Amino acid sequence: MSQPQQPDGPRAGKPPLRVGMVGYAFMGAAHSQGWRTVGRVFDLPYRPVLAALCGRDATAVRAAADRHGWASVETDWRALTERDDIDLVDICTPGDSHAEIALAALAADKHVLCEKPLANSVEEAERMAGAAEEAQSRGRLAMVGFNYRRVPAAALARSMVAEGRLGTLRHVRVTYLQDWLVDPAFPLTWRLRREHAGSGALGDLGAHIVDLAQHLAGERLAGVSALTETFVRERPLSVGATSGLSGVSSAGTGQVTVDDAALFTGRFTSGALATFEATRYATGRKNALRIELNGEHGSLAFDLERLNELAYHDGREPSSRAGFRRILVTEPDHPYLDAWWPPGHGLGYEHTFVHQARDLVHAIARGRRPDPSFADGLQVQRVLAAVEESAAKNSVYTPIAD
């Protein structure tokens, strides 16, 4: 079993924040990077310690722990939440286990970080938000992991909107496009089953863009109108995928029970209009998230594939000089960047998880509700549920006459 590195320098005198994480795949690796790095970059009030990693496969979780620097392993998340040497439980599992693990961790007097979407249903999210509210009265905090808020350019966009640089908001348009399901031979995974994932592109990608749109706008959606579609309704099973799986055919395929794509419009509380598109079928698009906000005085646009840049148009400039200009978000007075590299040296996707860990550690030290909180995650869950409800009602098209 690997042992944690001994702290050195100014970090040695800091009290530890001992983290236990459940799940070690894609998100587990990203969160591990965040916890492993954050105390070496930012001056924190606590020293994060990678205390324990949990997964059901003992061999695989031990290999992941050695690779990512975790000191010990568990194969039962219940044992992890009950350990006295764990201060914070980080949940990086599929959505069907978020509520159970988070509720147990909060009851065990742990802080909690939970990946998005917060839960698979509004009812689960309500229980989680209620438990988080009660835990805060005992000094225990809970955050949901919407990491794209932590891109410095997105954080700068939020501050510019809050400063009134756009004036009254008119439009928000957001797309999140991927293509990993274009091949109909791609196997049926947990992400394509409602009982595990809750929903498809809507929960996986749509949760991100709903949160980001509301966060940058500084206001919430008041209503939505939606369409969803599942383009390939049956997929081949991967090895071992038949265990406990309903809807399996004799041909070795299983039913896709989530959406492949979601399109919806929305109206913010101020009256501003919004459009959203989330799909896993945009051929050629790998992780293309783009958001644009238009206001009476100007516009802002952010593209995740150019994540160190922000486009800004000041509509109050004379037309002879007006136009979108590129802001390279690498200056030390830009959000998060005073701890990183000289201007012009860009950051990457993995840094959002470092920033997420930084903000949570500071929230814990101050005893303040983290942002986004479980209450914020619940509100996004309500939007997702409203999208599904609207899509079900709009499943029949109104014919258009020739």
Nearest to 387 by CA among 247, 206, 258, 252: 206
Q: Global pTM? A: 0.92
CB neighbours of 8 closer than 8 A, spacing ≥ 6?
A: none
Element (H, E) at 119: none
Residue 119 has pLDDT above 50, yes or no: yes
Three-state DSSP state, 106: helix
Contact 201, 278 (CB under 8 A): yes
Antiparallel, parallel or unpaired: β 142-145 and 273-279 = unpaired
Domain ranges of the chain: 9-147, 152-306+308-347
Q: Helix %, strand %, coil % for the chain, to 5?
A: 35, 25, 40
Residue 52 has pLDDT above 70, yes or no: yes
Antiparallel, parallel or unpaired: β 88-91 and 111-115 = parallel
Mean of all residue pLDDT scores within the chain? 94
Nearest to 112 by CA among 85, 131, 95, 137: 131
CA distances (Å), 398 to each of 366, 377, 392, 394, 395, in order? 54, 34, 14, 9, 10
Residue 9 has pLDDT above 80, yes or no: no
Residue 12: predicted pLDDT: 65
Q: For 1, how many CA atoms within 13 A lie in the half-sphere containing its CB?
A: 12
Comparing 87 with 400, the larger pLDDT belongs to 87
Residue 7: predicted pLDDT: 43
Three-state DSSP state, 374: helix
Residue 195: predicted pLDDT: 94
How is domain 152-306+308-347 classified at the CATH fold level? Dihydrodipicolinate Reductase; domain 2 (3.30.360)
When pLDDT is cut at 50, 70 and 90, the band that residue 246 belongs to is low
Residue 243: predicted pLDDT: 46
Residue 3: predicted pLDDT: 39
Residue 402: predicted pLDDT: 74
Nearest to 383 by CA among 295, 269, 283: 269
Q: Rounded to a whole number, what is the distance in angstroms from the first to the last CA of the chain?
A: 71
CA 292 to CA 157: how far, in whole Å?
10
Residue 2: predicted pLDDT: 37
Residue pointed to by tokens 């109206």? 267
CA 120 to CA 112: how far, in whole Å?
17
Q: What is the arithmetic mean of pLDDT over 262-278?
A: 97
CA distances (Å), 51 to each of 16, 73, 112, 248, in order? 10, 8, 15, 40
Query: What DSSP assignment string belongs to 209-272?
Result: HHHHHHHHHTS-EEEEEEEEE-S--EEEBPTTTTTT-SSB-TTSEEE--S-SEEEEEEEETTS-
Residue 399: predicted pLDDT: 76
Q: What is the arithmetic mean of pLDDT over 44-56?
A: 98
Pick the CATH number of 9-147 from 3.40.50.720, 3.60.21.10, 3.50.50.60, 3.40.630.10: 3.40.50.720
The tens digit of pLDDT for each residue in 84-113 reads 999 999 999 999 999 999 999 999 999 999
Q: How many CB atoms lie within 10 A of CB 249?
A: 10
Which ranges of 47-147 would DSSP assign to H, the alpha helix?
A: 58-68, 77-82, 98-107, 122-136
The tens digit of pLDDT for each residue in 163-218 reads 999 999 999 999 999 999 999 999 999 999 999 999 999 999 999 999 999 999 99
Task: Write the burial class of residue 260 (CB in 10 Å: 0-12 exposed, 13-18 middle, 19+ buried).
Answer: buried
Residue 242 has pLDDT above 80, yes or no: no
Nearest to 35 by CA among 15, 21, 56, 55: 21
Nearest to 242 by CA among 322, 187, 176, 289: 187
The tens digit of pLDDT for each residue in 327-379 reads 999 999 999 999 999 999 999 999 999 999 999 999 999 999 999 999 999 99
